[in-house]
Amino acid sequence: MRESYDSHGAELAAFTNRLADLARLAEGAMNRATTAVVAGDAELARTVVAEEGTIVALHHRLDEEAVEMLAELRPVAGDLRTIVAGLRMSADLARMGAMARHVAELVPRMAPRPALPPVVLPTVAAMGETAQRLMAKVRAAMARHDTEAAYELDRDDDEMDRLVSSLYRDLLCADHGLDVEAVLELTLLGRYYERFADHAVSLARRVLFQAGAAG
């Protein structure tokens, strides 16, 4: 753990642990959302949608704690950076939970058709894997204040951008036989993964900010 915790050890450690919990919840939600759309599992999709409430509640709790700590601990230097970055990370993670919900909602919206037509299935599965890899690196970077892992994330984000472009190219092929509604829904699906990755990059930047390595 960080040196600067010495000053307000318990509160900051609890805050950081809860932020790690929120990251785990967001990662789990997106993994299950991907499984739900790839397998067309309506029951699993419902679970992801229902469990977003837990993510939102934890996000609000973290925000309240951050403001309380700013008021009561009057933190400076490293502690201040940890709290300010935590406020922003909490917002990113809540948005990532919302992206997971949006992905899961594809299953009922496409019903009674399967959520994913075969032509885009491999690409969406790869997008889910890339999202998982991004989150694993973000969580490692958060836990160890690992600036190397944070810098590495850009590569996985590039991979996500490539996959989303590939999904859009699949959709633009005239011979896929998809109806307009499917094109519309799958376009939004690509956007949700793209934004999930953007938030992961934003989280990595916060880790660098906490470490004093960047703004």
* φ/ψ (deg, to 5) at 19: -65, -40
Residue 31's nearest CA partner among 196, 202, 171, 206 is: 196
Contact stretch for a second copy (CB under 8 A) within 4-12, 42-50, 150-158, 177-185: 177-185
Of 38, 39, 44, 70, which one interacts with a second copy (CB under 8 A)?
A: 70
CB of 180 to a second copy, least distance (A): 5
Radius of gyration from C-alpha coordinates of the chain: 19
- CB-CB contact of 30 with 124 (8 Å): no
Q: Does 10 bind a second copy (CB under 8 A)?
A: no
Number of residues forming the site for a second copy (CB under 8 A): 28
Q: Does 201 bind a second copy (CB under 8 A)?
A: no
- 130's CB contacts (< 8 A; 6+ apart) are 156, 159, 160, 163, 193, 197
Q: Does 59 bind a second copy (CB under 8 A)?
A: no
- Which residue lies nearer to a second copy by CB, 14 or 76? 76
Name the token pair of 140: 């490692």
Q: Does 208 bind a second copy (CB under 8 A)?
A: no
CB of 95 to a second copy, least distance (A): 10
Considering only residues 81 through 100, tell me which ones interact with a second copy, judged by CB under 8 A: 81, 84, 87-88, 91
CA dihedral 124, 126, 131, 135 (to 10 degrees): 150
- CB-CB contact of 10 with 83 (8 Å): no
Residues within the interface to a second copy (CB under 8 A): 60, 63-64, 66-67, 70-71, 74, 76-77, 80-81, 84, 87-88, 91, 168, 171-172, 174, 180-181, 183-184, 187-188, 191, 215
